[in-house]
């Protein structure tokens, strides 16, 4: 087998990453300091590195290694929150949309452009129209450069309705809170709130753009499409809660599920009666009475036989609807339904439960169709519209190599909440470096079977041309913006590290990202009552010279990650220390050679 890997370089980089666990070597590379590491922690950090080379045959993998010494591949097998690297995907989608709008409206007269109807919240369409009205001859390249100079507030003092509720976001640096930077500067310095607002504009563009936009749907309570949106909301919201309850009771026996349920219930006689009669409607009155007396904590009222008989009859089958039973018991009706379903179907899968609860999910949210408050229905519709907008955004991301089948329908996706993979980010970087063309990735250049026998067979990669997925002008604008991240932004420590013997510095650009991933429990007033660290990540995705690009990721798994405070400065510094190893292979006109392996 002839692979595309450069084995000498692969081995050198692998040894380099392993040596980083040694505090003495880590100090030589410059890994100690603020937002980096301390000597006692070097052995706990895992590093993953990939390097690709653009060639006429396609993109060839030259290095793919880590220091985990495990079969698990962080580069291609993980789903990690890689923080601000998501801003690169958001900015790419933004410039793609600007290019589409320019293509749609360029060449029309200012008078015709003024007649175009645009929803009040579709800021992107309005901006492109205004640009072309003012400068009818403005080409796409200049429009994209102007789009990067648009300003967005970095103020964190705004509540955003997203993901089905009200959320607020913060910047990494408090001194950014009063700024109104351009998008170019926001990318360069990785400021959060401008990208939250930019993604909101993209969601609104998807929601309001076109002839069948949703503006009328939100304005008119009698709009014929409202009922459909409410039904879909009920189905989606119900499925979300059902999954939450499924996970709560997964792997438990029937008795364990009941015990778990009762632990979260304030067990008054009335609530217990509503629960028991729903879950076990065929049970006789004596068994019911025993259960109520065993679990009720009513102290002010004696549970006489007459009282228990009344409870048994009042809450019997058919007396109350599922939503009413849940309301009486003060539990979510779908949790009550799921417990009853599992009693009758102990071997059911979640897919079975979803299929069986179609009517119940609609019933539980039936109040949406009856409430007098239009605002209550509007908030549900906006949630559903946001979900649909993220489906559109996901299609755009997937075309550029995003590896997962859905996005979290929340503006927090701009900060990495939907996850990513280092290898997928590298593929996006390769598209940008390659002028908007997504080229095939090659790892194997030649396979030879049974050589010298009658069964000898030779295989070579099929010749596959790349696919254009971005206009070349968009790729150029992104490449220029990414260069500013290295020249004077969050990756500036690596500026000038890759220089040729004659002193010429290889052009470099990239995007940094830090993920501090944890599960937090929040109280009723928004205060965090507990915080459990899951992992910490820091990533630098980059292009280097005309032909090379890749990613370097630092990763600490598990609860021990709570002890670390490193940011994306760490992988940037690690890559800087790797420069002497990489430079011999980065000379213009030098092509890394494939090596045989087995």
Return the pLDDT at 140. Answer: 98
Residue 103 to residue 474: CA distance in whole angstroms: 13
For the beta carbon of residue 240, count every other beta carbon within 10 angstroms.
11
* Burial degree of 353 (CB within 10 A; 0-12, 13-18, 19+): buried
Question: Over the chain (598 residues), what is each successive 10-residue block's mean pLDDT?
Answer: 94 96 96 93 93 93 89 78 92 98 96 92 96 96 98 96 86 95 97 98 86 56 72 81 87 89 82 92 92 76 85 90 85 90 92 93 74 66 77 92 87 92 94 96 92 92 88 98 96 95 93 80 60 83 96 89 91 97 84 47
On whether the CB atoms of residues 566 and 37 are closer than 8 A, the answer is: yes
Question: Token pair of 519, please?
Answer: 């599960």
On whether the CB atoms of residues 555 and 46 are closer than 8 A, the answer is: yes
Q: How many CA atoms lie within 13 A of 107 on its CB side?
A: 3
On whether the CB atoms of residues 54 and 105 are closer than 8 A, the answer is: no
For the beta carbon of residue 34, count every other beta carbon within 10 angstroms.
8
Closest residue by Cα to residue 590 from 550, 547, 549: 547
Closest residue by Cα to residue 94 from 144, 130, 19, 152: 144
Return the pLDDT at 277. Answer: 93
Beta bridge pairs of residue 446: 2
The torsion region of residue 232 among left (phi > 0), alpha (psi -120 to 50) and beta comes to alpha
Closest residue by Cα to residue 279 from 259, 297, 298: 259
Return the pLDDT at 386. Answer: 84
Helix (H, G, I), strand (E, B), or coil: what is residue 296? coil
Asked whether the CA dihedral 127, 131, 133, 136 is positive or negative, the reply is: negative
For the beta carbon of residue 201, count every other beta carbon within 10 angstroms.
18
Return the pLDDT at 463. Answer: 79
Contacts of 272 (CB under 8 A, 6+ apart): 265, 291, 292, 295, 296
Using the structure block, give the residue that is written with the tokens 């599992």: 342
Q: For residue 58, what is the enclosing H or E element? A: strand 58-66
Closest residue by Cα to residue 549 from 85, 57, 91, 49: 49
Asked whether the CA dihedral 210, 197, 511, 69 is positive or negative, the reply is: negative
Helix (H, G, I), strand (E, B), or coil: what is residue 46? strand
pTM: 0.78
Residue 211 to residue 215: CA distance in whole angstroms: 10
C-alpha distances (whole Å) from 473 to each of 124, 377, 469, 550 are 18, 42, 12, 22
Residue 35 to residue 514: CA distance in whole angstroms: 11
Beta bridge pairs of residue 165: 162
C-alpha distances (whole Å) from 597 to each of 275, 430, 444, 568 are 65, 26, 10, 34
Residue 286 to residue 262: CA distance in whole angstroms: 20
State the DSSP string of 490-523. Answer: TTGGGTT-SB-TTSPBPPEEEEEEEEEEEEEEE-
């Amino acid at each position: 087998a002839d692979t595309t890997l450069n084995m000498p370089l692969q081995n050198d980089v692998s040894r380099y990453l392993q040596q980083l666990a040694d505090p003495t070597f880590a100090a030589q590379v410059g890994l100690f300091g603020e937002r980096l590491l301390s000597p006692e922690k070097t052995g706990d950090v895992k590093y993953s590195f990939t390097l690709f080379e653009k060639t006429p045959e396609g993109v060839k993998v030259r290095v793919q290694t880590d220091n985990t010494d495990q079969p698990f591949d962080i580069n291609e097998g993980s789903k990690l929150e890689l923080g601000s690297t998501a801003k690169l995907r958001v900015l790419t989608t933004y410039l793609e949309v600007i290019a589409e709008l320019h293509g749609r409206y360029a060449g029309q007269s200012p008078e015709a452009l003024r007649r175009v109807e645009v929803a009040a919240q579709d800021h992107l369409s309005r901006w492109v129209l205004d640009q072309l009205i003012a400068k009818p001859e403005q080409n796409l390249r200049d429009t994209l450069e102007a789009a990067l100079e648009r300003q967005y507030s970095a103020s964190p003092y705004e509540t955003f309705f997203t993901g089905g509720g009200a959320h607020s976001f913060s910047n990494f640096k408090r001194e950014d809170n009063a700024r109104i930077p351009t998008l170019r500067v926001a990318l360069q310095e990785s400021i959060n709130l401008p990208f939250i607002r930019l993604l909101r504009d993209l969601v609104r563009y998807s929601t309001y753009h076109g002839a069948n936009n949703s503006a009328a749907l939100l304005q008119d309570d009698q709009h014929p499409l409202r009922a459909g949106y409410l039904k879909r909301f009920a189905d989606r919201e119900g499925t979300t809660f059902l999954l939450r309850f499924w996970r709560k009771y997964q792997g438990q026996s029937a008795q364990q599920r009941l015990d778990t349920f009762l632990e979260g219930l304030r067990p008054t006689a009335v609530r217990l009666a509503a629960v028991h009669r729903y879950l076990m409607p065929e049970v006789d009155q004596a068994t019911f009475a025993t259960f109520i007396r065993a679990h009720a904590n009513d102290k002010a009222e004696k549970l006489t036989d007459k009282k228990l008989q009344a409870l048994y009859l009042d809450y019997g089958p058919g007396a109350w609807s599922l939503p009413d039973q849940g309301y009486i018991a003060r539990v979510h009706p779908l949790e009550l339904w799921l417990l009853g379903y599992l009693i009758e179907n102990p071997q059911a899968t979640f897919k079975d439960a979803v299929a069986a609860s179609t009517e119940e999910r609609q019933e539980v949210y039936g109040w949406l169709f009856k409430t007098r408050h239009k605002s209550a229905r509007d908030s549900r519709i906006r949630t559903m519209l946001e979900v649909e907008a993220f489906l559109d955004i996901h299609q755009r991301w997937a075309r550029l190599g995003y590896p997962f089948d859905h996005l979290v329908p929340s503006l927090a996706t701009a900060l990495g909440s939907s996850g990513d993979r280092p290898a997928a980010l590298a593929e996006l970087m390769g598209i940008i470096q390659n002028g908007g063309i997504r080229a095939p990735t090659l790892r194997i250049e030649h396979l030879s079977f049974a050589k010298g026998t009658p069964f000898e067979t030779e295989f070579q990669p099929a010749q596959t041309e790349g696919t254009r997925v971005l206009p070349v002008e968009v790729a150029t604008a992104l490449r220029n913006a990414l260069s500013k991240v290295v020249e004077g932004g969050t990756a500036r420590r690596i500026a000038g590290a890759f220089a040729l013997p004659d002193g010429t510095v290889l052009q470099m650009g990239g995007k940094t990202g830090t993920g501090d991933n944890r599960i937090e429990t929040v109280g009723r007033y928004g205060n965090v009552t507990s915080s459990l660290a899951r992992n910490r990540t820091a990533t630098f995705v980059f292009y280097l010279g005309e032909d090379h690009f890749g990613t370097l990721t630092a990763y600490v798994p598990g609860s021990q990650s709570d002890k670390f405070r490193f940011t994306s400065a760490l992988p940037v510094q690690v890559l800087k220390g790797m420069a002497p190893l990489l430079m011999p292979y980065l000379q213009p006109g030098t092509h890394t050679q494939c090596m045989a392996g087995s």
